[in-house]
Structure 1
């Protein structure tokens, strides 16, 4: 995690933390660890958080800014995605395709989709969440989020994408069909899950 690396290196060099820098670093750690919920939240992460808290941080404000504050349009968008997301037959893979005109309905931007794939992954019994976003007529981006059943960086790598074990992404350039992309991703993911 970038924030942890920065802190480790800066402390070795005698760098002193201001409240403003500590707030930014805590925001980075919170973002990287899903609010300290993900498996990458280790002992060192909590030690660093404790040292940052000594700068009198308003942790509730940091958490709300990252995970809580949403406009009504954003909440309606999230609600529609979650209400209309599809599941595979055995119910362990969830996906949704955001068509290019979908965002207009909620006066939203691509940034408003940030974190949505992670929320889809939080559905009970889900091994893999896939959020496909039509950026333009010749670009599709895919967000992949996983719990323990599949290494999504490996899945993304099959399509020229990357990331890490629990969060990865892929960009498809050119004329592509989002539904065919989803079907192929699901097929590959099911093979990987069964092979485990």
Structure 2
């Protein structure tokens, strides 16, 4: 069921006592910041709450208050979900479909309700209750509104978590999803104790040497098509292993190759440890990468989206770039 008012979600959270919070695989700042903020809010209300994620926490987010409270799925006791309280509510944040939360999605038959809170236009409304606000820059913005509806105190811990959520999902306020509501939200967060310079240093000035070497290798493979105004590059498992890097250290490559003058769309292909290919799309013009990525079963936002495909990475690159060139040329001809 679609829910129009955040107060309806607040009412559900007030009604129940036991909660599991989760988000998508390949955790980012919006996922973690929103989870932790909601965790602290529910604690204020004396609820029983736990955060469980499929993937480990990227090191750049280990500064977040409460980060040690997050439980990795593989560390759960056997049959954990069989032994939860029958009135437990699962809250999913920033996940456009149920599969995005990973293996957890296969173990949720014992929860009472699924509350789906998201800002992706491509959300499949998989929850029993779905609050989807595509006008919000981030789930962090939505969780701030939810906290206000719950009449929770906006502490420095919550403010730090939510500022992290917003700054990362807006690309430091550079993306088109940044609006008046975004700046008003961050005004409230800074007023409550969030420290923008410290948060930015943790996220953007904390890169490991292995990540820089991996970026160098990715730029060596960079290709540009000036006709379709498209750039793309690839990171294979061999490149990651050769640089002793982690998958999380590829974050930002799609944005970096979009920054080239006159380029309007970028595609970054990363080979995963499972042998699949994760593709990140970015755009800074009218080209809607959310719509394009849906062709391949993905989704996201108009200027930032992604998908994951199975098969040989070289074949995937060829197929996707061919489709991208065709789509961008059609758009450019229509101007």
In 2, Cα distance between the equivalents of 1:137 and 1:181?
Answer: 20
SS in 2 for 1:40: coil
- Indicate how the Cα distance of structure 1 residues 156 and 188 shifts in structure 2: closer, same or farther if over 3 A, else same: farther
Q: Displacement, 1:130?
A: 0.5
Q: Unpaired segments of 5 or more residues in structure 2?
A: 1-137
CA contact (8 A) 1:73 1:108 kept: yes
Alignment match of 1:40 (pick from 172, 177, 197): 177
CA contact (8 A) 2:230 2:325 kept: no
Describe the superposition over 1:160-183 as per-residue Cα deviations: whole angstroms up to 9, x where unpaired.
Answer: 111110011111124452332343
> Of the two, which has the highest radius of gyration?
2
In 2, Cα distance between the equivalents of 1:172 and 1:188?
Answer: 19
In 2, Cα distance between the equivalents of 1:174 and 1:81?
Answer: 20
- Kindly report which structure 2 residues correspond to 1:153-164, keeping only aligned pairs within 5 A, or say none: 153-164=290-301
Alignment pair present for 1:186 and 2:328: no
TM-score, scaled relative to structure 1: 0.91
Alignment pair present for 1:24 and 2:161: yes
Describe the superposition over 1:47-83 as per-residue Cα deviations: whole angstroms up to 9, x where unpaired.
Answer: 1111111123221111122222101221222233234
In 2, Cα distance between the equivalents of 1:137 and 1:57?
Answer: 38
Q: Displacement, 1:46?
A: 0.8
- Kindly report which structure 2 residues correspond to 1:57-76, keeping only aligned pairs within 5 A, or say none: 57-76=194-213
Alignment pair present for 1:122 and 2:259: yes
In 1, Cα distance between the equivalents of 2:186 and 2:239?
Answer: 39
Runs of 4+ in structure 1 over 4 Å off: none
Alignment match of 1:88 (pick from 207, 225, 247): 225
Describe the superposition over 1:111-159 as per-residue Cα deviations: whole angstroms up to 9, x where unpaired.
Answer: 1111210121122211011101122574111110001131001111111
- Indicate how the Cα distance of structure 1 residues 78 and 91 shifts in structure 2: closer, same or farther if over 3 A, else same: farther
The answer for the alignment partner of 2:247 in structure 1 is 110
SS in 2 for 1:132: strand
In 1, Cα distance between the equivalents of 2:192 and 2:139?
Answer: 20
In 2, Cα distance between the equivalents of 1:70 and 1:154?
Answer: 32
The answer for the alignment partner of 2:82 in structure 1 is none
In 2, Cα distance between the equivalents of 1:158 and 1:178?
Answer: 13
Q: Displacement, 1:92?
A: 1.6
In 2, Cα distance between the equivalents of 1:188 and 1:138?
Answer: 27
Q: Unpaired segments of 5 or more residues in structure 1?
A: none
- Indicate how the Cα distance of structure 1 residues 192 and 150 shifts in structure 2: closer, same or farther if over 3 A, else same: farther
Alignment match of 2:268 (pick from 131, 141, 145): 131
| Range moving further from structure 2, 173-182 or 68-77 | 173-182
Q: CA RMSD in A?
A: 1.9
TM-score, scaled relative to structure 2: 0.55
Aligned length: 196
